[in-house]
Each structure stands twice: as structure tokens, then as C-alpha cells.
Amino acid sequence: MWYEGLLSPSPWETILATLILTHITILSVTIYLHRFSAHNALELHPVLQHLFRFWLWLTTGMRTLEWTAIHRKHHACCETEHDPHSPVRKGLQKVLWQGAELYRQEAANQETLQRYGQRTPDDWIERKLYTPYSKAGIVLMLAIDLILFGAIGITVWAVQMLWIPFFAAGVINGLGHHSGYRNFECKDAARNLIPLGLLIGGEELHNNHHTFPNSPRLSVRKWEFDIGWLWIRFFDYLNLANVRKVNPLAKMDIEKNHNDYDTVMAIINNRFQIMVQYKKMVIGPMVRDEKSRACTKTRKLFNSARKFLAREHSLLIPDHQERIGKLLDSSHVLKTIYEKKMIFRLYGIRLKIKMNE
């Protein structure tokens, strides 16, 4: 019958097809818009680039210029009043439920597009089709879904249209800066939602990404899985992608007894991993040791001390800063290791600035 569509799918087949279609959409966002266009973390074959562009036109109506510019501004102004979608500034509920509206508002900001939208497509099809007729692709997608799936195609299409506004604009931009775990103490509030980046193409590993924004791989621990990276490796095998670099890794040379250019670069590129080890091997044991020596009156100060002493200083709220102050006043040992941590932090920042000059 006509209302069953050309495929006449069963309910389970419809669900599976919807998941596949939405997965293609999120791959288009995470691989093409995010890792390729916004961060230049890999190269993509021109054919693959345009397939992603075409699919995004069908399923989102988003322009590469707009998405790229807004995301670059997010990194440049993260957690400030100029951040287009910071839950720290705008509130979690606002970003979670109105993330798509925040995107549209910033997309209308010509200053943002001009300043952050470099190296994005400006070819004939972009100027003549994708930009002036951004809604036409969405209408065409509706027609395709109706033809293939019949009446249920309206539901399939609705899920496709809601997938990116909710999961990308809402969940990642909202919860990704509010809830979850942190592998690294980067300077913003980015967090990893779950260690299995499946539903949103790997974008769930948001703290990892904000720590190493130019890495095409978002997973850093052995138990973390980035399905977007798996697809990138597959495209690389087909010669459709070329990975520029991945997360920097340091190698210890026990015979080396002097500092040189390689040593400096290792410190700059691996300062976050170094601080993770410092938390694990220095702060943690010292906190436990000092707590065991503390009297009953001051012992409660040591609750969560390991977390607060390792936390990025700019993210500490006044109450936590006051608590750290009392803790350091009560322990000369913890005061010393905290000062060493802050010195290393400033040293790493200065080296990074100097290398970029």
C-alpha cells in the first residue's frame, strides 16, 4: 500500500533505519564540521567532504561557515560572556533546551562569521544552493522519507530533525560543560559525559577534546571508545582521509640529564598528562598521609582535598578557594606541593605563549 512506502519496513526495521540515518548525520558533524573544518585535525578527500556537506544540507540545513565559526568562537571565548553557548554563563536549562536557538542567534552575527569562518567552502554550489536554499534540503529529506517509509516516514524525519539540535546543541554544549568526569584540568568546565562515545559519534568525550582540541581522536584512556575515530581510521584505510596528528605522547629517557628543545616541547605538549601524574603520585599520597596525622578538629578539611588541590585554579568557586586556604595553612607539606603545582602551571602557560609568538 502507498502508506507503507517503497520499503514497507517492519517496526524494528524502521527503528534500525532511523538509527543508521541519524548516525550518518552525527558522523557528518563530528568528522566533517568538527574535526576537519573547525579544528583542521585531519584531511578529507573532496568527494567525502561534499558527501558530508550534502547530507548536512538534507538533514540539518546547517552551513559549514556558520557551524565552524560558532564552534571556533566557543573555544576562543569558552566560559566567558562571549561564549555562544556556555551553561556556566547562560545556565544549563537554557543551553540544554534552547541550544538550537542560541546557535541561530550567533549564526546571524556577521562579525563572528567573518572573524572565525576562514577556510570554509565558498564554491558555486554553496553560493547558489546550500546557502540561499538551506531549508530546501530538509523538505527534500521529508519527501525521501515519505517515499521510502510511507506514513511512518514523518516520524523518521522528525527524529532526524531533532537529533542534532538536542544531542549536539543541547546535550554536548550543555551537559558537556556541567556533568561528568574530567581526565584533565583544562581551563574550562568541559567534562566527559560517558567513556563510550557511541550515541553522539565520540563527542561525549568533551573534556578530552577541550584539552587537545586539534586531535582527531577524542579518546585518551584505554577504556574510552570514540566511534568517530574508528570511522576516521576506516576512511584513512580507503585513502579518503589523512590524519595529521593525534594526542601528543611523551617518552621518558632515563639517560638524559639535561634540558633541550625536545624537553621543553614535551613539557608544553604533555603538561596536562604531567599534572594527572602529579595528582596521582604526589597530591593523593600526601593528602592521605597528612590526613592520617591531622587531629580530629582539622581532619574534616581533608575531605575531597585531593580533588580541590588538583582542580584548575580558575574553576574554583570562592568557597573552595577558602577551604584550600585553610587546608594549606594547616599543612606545610600540602602548601609546598600546591605551590609547586601552581609554578608548573604558570611555567607551562608561559612556554606555550612564548612558542606561539
What residue segments make up the domains of the chain, in order of their start? 2-243, 261-356
Residue 12 DSSP code: H
Instruction: Give the whole-angstrom CA distance, residue 42 versus residue 341.
Output: 34
Under-50 pLDDT residues of the chain: 353, 355
Looking at residue 310, its pLDDT comes to 75
Within 108-201, residue ranges assigned H as helices are: 110-116, 124-125, 136-149, 153-163, 173-174
- Give pLDDT, residue 77: 92
Contact 330, 298 (CB under 8 A): yes
Task: Look at residue 355 in the predicted model and tell me its pLDDT.
Answer: 47
Burial of residue 252, with CB atoms counted within 10 A of its CB: 0-12 exposed, 13-18 middle, 19 or more buried: exposed
